[in-house]
Amino acid sequence: MKSTDLLNQPGSKDFQEQEIHLRDYVRVIIKRKITVITFLAITFLTVVIATFTATPYYTASSQVLIEKNIGSNKLTGGGNYIPYDPDFQTTQFELIRSPNVARRVVKQLQLDTKYRNYFFEKSADSPSFLSTITSGVKKFLSGLLPSKSDDEKTNLAEENDPLLVAAAPISDAETIASIIQGNLSINPVVNTKTVFILYSDKDPAMAKVIADAVVQAYIDETLEIKLSSSNYTLKWMTAKAEEESKKLEGSELNLQKYMRDNDLVTVEDKLAVYPQKLAEFSSQLSKAQTEQKEFEALYAQIKNLGENYQNIETISIFSDNKILQGLREKIYLAEQNIKDLSKKFGYKHPSMVNAKAEKEMLLKEKRFEIDRIIEATKNSYNLAKSKETNLTQLLTNTKQEMLNVNERFTQYSIMKREADMNRVLYDALTSSIKEVNVTDQAQDIKIWVVKSAELPGFADKPRKKRNLALGLILGLFGGIGLAFFIEYLDNTVKNGKDIEQRFGLTVLGSIEEVRDKNSKIETCIVDNPLSPLAESYRMIRSSLLLSTPDHPPRTLLLTSMAPKEGKTSTTYNLALILAQNEKKVLIIDCDMRRPRMHSLFAVSNSSGLSNYLAGSIEQNMLRQVEVNGLTMIPAGPPPPNPAELLNSNRMKLLLNEMSKNFDFILLDSPPLLSVTDSLTLGKLVDGTLLVTRSGKTSYDMLESGLGKMRGMKITLLGAIVNGITITKGSEGYYGYYDYYGKESE
């Protein structure tokens, strides 16, 4: 791949999806291990504190057998057949957990009076943090609302407003009942009709007492439901039976009176008079309607065609007409005669005039005949319509006469059915009342206490081992998930592989982050030439020398997307590495806005590139440094217009002149996205090196910067990644750094 094509690759803009391996996930976890460990520690510590500071709870359980009472009562069907009811047990469980059962427990054990302090000891001693906040909010809201006078409050109380009743404070009994509901649980035994009723409390004795009391309260509640239901049913059926008795008596009296007043005995003889007439009129009406529809459709078709006589003749009534057929034959013969005469005479010849007149007369006759048929069709349609109307009226009158005859008998039938229904309903009610009286004492549900509650010997809540295990698992997986989430949100460059995959750029090398705070990256090559860091720059030098096919680039521009990405230190170390091959290397500090290169070489910046480009000096810009073969030109005093100076002809002349005396010229330039200096210099050099920093240079910055370079048609030789973190899981780095690390030692 040519270096000039790096910015124009199809894959340099859109990231190509790559196969994700398991080692990629492991690498993310190792990279974010601090996040994982921190989340794990916080979660596990929270669970430990919550577990060991929680109040221990003891659970007592009673075992109860619950089944339907299937007796041999003849009124209920008898036998030992047990109907299938899938919701029976679920209904009973909800009944055990119901507020009514909890209230019965409170009443039986006198929990709201004798043991009130046991349930409200915390609130009696000192208010909790939550209750303090709640009371403060209530006071604040009450202060915002307009206060009512004492007279208004008295009037509202006298009116017994239901809103005031609903807003009344909850009693102690209701509060304790809610606590019992919350601590109560049901555990059915699989494939049996028995169930464990469990109650948890911080006092084992209270847990045992309430567990037994819940069973007794449940038994009492089922009896109360049965008795209340029976009493209500009996009361309702008795009142309904009395009401239906009165209805039955009234309906029978009305029926007898109606029969006497309307002489219903003779009505039935008249019912067979009209059916034959109705059948005959219906048949005639059907025929008339059919005929009327036919003429209506024909006339509508003719009307739709309007004056278009040619299309009208296609209708069957016109095409089959004998007169029209004869006229059409005569017209055809007349037309043939006109054609024959036209071959002999002119159009004004008497023979031609007579022939045309004869044709016109025939056409008029045909139109007259068509109009006559149309008028005849219209008359036929009107006649059929009138006939259909008359038959309809006649049929209606006949039906009305028959309805008058049947009306009295129909009313009689209605009144008779009403009387029969009232009699059936009254008989059913009286029978049900007797049945309820007989089966009133029968119990629908059988409840036996299989085992009473025992005093629990140990607390079952909190479950310390389970909580600790769950806390460890939750912390571990939560930390891993958080690590992947942070990794997903991180859109910065991680390593050279990311740049190659996303933008298709050649990565010349990667520089490891200096972990020792006392060491500086600028002195690594001089102080420790066999270190992995120094070898990284040698790899960059090798890649750079092979980046172009004909000869290595002699003038190089080093730039970055943003400040503090290692551009200056990379220029410095790369120059040192190039100078080690007995090459003459020149560094030109083109960052005239924030120059730093002179401080690395400990030379003066009183004069330099800015003075030369401005025409102040012509020579003595070169500064010799301690490294053999290495020379530099400092930036000089900051000028007011750096971009214009760098784009001048003097800059081009300087590069051309220096290229004759030096093997390599490295230009340290300002960041690409901040100013246009780098874009200006990029057109003057053989190639540009893009310096990025792991964890700092974002993909958006790279996309924007590469777009600008692409627009300026700058030759990009490749990229260098600074500040990467090398771990044992890093692909392609572990063995290399481990080897050179041992050599360095």
Strands 687-693 and 716-724, by their bridges, are: parallel
Q: What is the pLDDT at residue 145?
A: 53
In a domain, 738, yes or no: no
User: Does the structure show a pLDDT above 80 at 20?
Assistant: no
Together in a domain, 482 and 562: no
Residue that is last in its domain, among 667, 691, 715:
691
Average pLDDT over residues 660-680: 90
Place of tokens 């190039």: 578
**Mean pLDDT value across the chain:** 78
* 521 plus 484 within the same structural domain: no
Q: Structural domain tally of the chain? A: 2
| Per-residue pLDDT tens over the stretch 481-518 | 998 898 888 888 888 888 888 888 888 888 888 776 66
526 CB-near residues (< 8 Å, 6+ apart):
576
Residue 469 lies in a domain: yes
Same domain, 524 and 476: no
In a domain, 674, yes or no: yes
Name the burial class of residue 601, with classes exposed (0-12), middle (13-18) and buried (19+) by CB atoms within 10 angstroms of its CB.
Answer: buried
This prediction has a pTM of: 0.49
In this predicted model, which residue has the larger pLDDT, 12 or 201? 201
pLDDT of residue 69: 72
Together in a domain, 547 and 628: yes
pLDDT exceeds cutoff 50 at 460: yes
pLDDT at 727: 58
Is 685 inside any structural domain? Answer: yes
Mean pLDDT within 358-382: 80
Among residues 360, 99, 82, 298, which one has the least CA distance to residue 218?
99
| C-beta contacts of 406-411 below 8 A and 24+ residues apart | 406/271, 408/262, 408/264, 408/267, 409/264, 409/267, 409/268, 409/271, 411/258, 411/262
Q: Are residues 571 and 482 in the same domain?
A: no
Q: Are residues 522 and 570 both part of a single domain?
A: yes
Q: Which residue has the tokens 């401080």?
A: 599
Range(s) of the domain holding residue 653: 517-691
Which pLDDT value is given to residue 695? 83
Say whether pLDDT at 647 is over 70. yes
Q: Domain containing 619 — which CATH number? A: 3.40.50.300
Four-point Cα dihedral 356, 362, 364, 368, nearest 10 = 180
Name the DSSP class of 57. Answer: B
- Is 80 exceeded by the pLDDT of residue 186? yes
- Find the mean pLDDT for residues 657-666: 90
| Residue 473 sits in the same domain as residue 595 | no
Q: Distance between CA 705 and CA 699 in Å, rounded?
A: 10
Co-location of 577 and 645 in the same domain:
yes
pLDDT at residue 614, as a whole number: 86
C-alpha pair distances (Å), 652 with each of 4, 613, 659? 21, 10, 11
Together in a domain, 523 and 469: no
Do both 481 and 547 map to the same domain?
A: no
CA 367, 368, 369, 370 torsion: positive or negative? Answer: positive
pLDDT at 11 over 50: no
pLDDT tier, 126 (very low <50, low <70, confident <90, very high otherwise): very low
Q: Are residues 480 and 532 in the same domain?
A: no
Half-sphere exposure of 465 (CA within 13 A, CB side): 1
Residue type, 104: R
pLDDT at 529: 72
Q: Is 669 contained in some domain?
A: yes
Q: How confident is the model at residue 230 (pLDDT cuts 50, 70, 90)?
A: low
Region 150-171 average pLDDT: 54
Instruction: Give the mean pLDDT of 353-362.
Output: 82
Query: Tokens in use for 301?
Result: 């078709």
The two three-digit tokens of residue 8, written as one number: 């124009």
Same domain, 475 and 563: no
Domain endpoint, select from 648, 675, 691: 691
User: Of 440, 473, 488, which residue is a domain's last?
Assistant: 488
Q: Is residue 725 part of a domain?
A: no
